[in-house]
Structure 1
Amino acid sequence: MRADILGVERRRRWSSDDKARLVAETLEPAACVSEIARRNDLAPSLLFTWRRQARARTVAPASVFLPVQVTPGPPAAGPPPAKRRRKAAGSIEIDIGSGRRLRVGSDVDAAALARVLDVLERR
C-alpha cells in the first residue's frame, strides 16, 4: 500500500501564547469578537471556546478566615432615620397640569387643601 502526502494540514495549531493574546484582545472595551476572528482567519465560535476555557482555568482563590477583634463603638445617636414611605393606602394624587402632581394623604384637612389648590390654580 502506498500513501502520498496531498498537501499541508488543513487544521492549524494555535500556541497557548497566541490563544491568550487573542482572548485578551476580545476582552478589551468595545472589542468585537467577530471582527477579531475575521482578522485572524478563524471562526468566532473558536474564540468564544477559548474564552470559556480561559475562564475555567481562572479559579477564584480559596476563602481565608482572618482573625477579627470586635471593639465597642460609640453609642448610637438616636433612632435610625425614617425610611421614605411609598404611596400610602388612601392617598390622593391630583394632576395639576404642566407635568405637576400633588399627593396628599387621605387625612388631609379639606379646607387647607382647598386653599393650596386655589393658589396653584392662579399660577
Structure 2
Amino acid sequence: MSDFVTRPQIEVLSAADGERRRSWSDDDKLRIVEESFIGHRQAAATARRHGICRSLLTTWRRQYRDGELGASRAVSFAPVTVTKAPTQQTKSVDPCPPTDCQVEVVLPNGRRIIVPVGVELEALARILSVVDG
C-alpha cells in the first residue's frame, strides 16, 4: 500500500479567465422589469428566464418605480386584464354601465385602487400620481 493521498485540485480563476459580468442596456432592463410586472408574482420566474438573480431584478424594479431607470422613456400604456365576475351572466356589453360599477387599477408597485366607472380622467390621474409616488 502506498501512503500517497490524492487531494482535490483547486483552481483560482481571475476575471479575465472566467465569464465576465454582463452589462445590461437600459432598454433591456426596462423590457425585463416590465415583463416582471405582467401577471401575479412573476419576478422570480422572470429573473430565472433571463439568467439574473432575483435581487438584481428587485433593484431594477425599485429603480423603475423611483424613476431612476430609463427616465427618458415614458410609460404610456400598462397591461390590462379584463375579468368578469363569476356571478354575472350578461350576453351583451352595455354601452352605459350602471353608476355603481367600479374599475380596479393595479399599479406596478403592487398597490390597487378601485374607482367608479365614471371617474373624471383628471381626478384619476391626480389620484394615481399620489398613490404611485
Sort the TM-score into its range (normalised by shorter chain): 0.3 to 0.5
| Higher helix proportion (structure 1 or 2) | 1
Relative contact order (C-alpha < 8 Å, sep 6+): which is higher? 2
TM-score of the pair, normalised by structure 1: 0.39
Quick check: which has more Rg, 1 or 2? 1
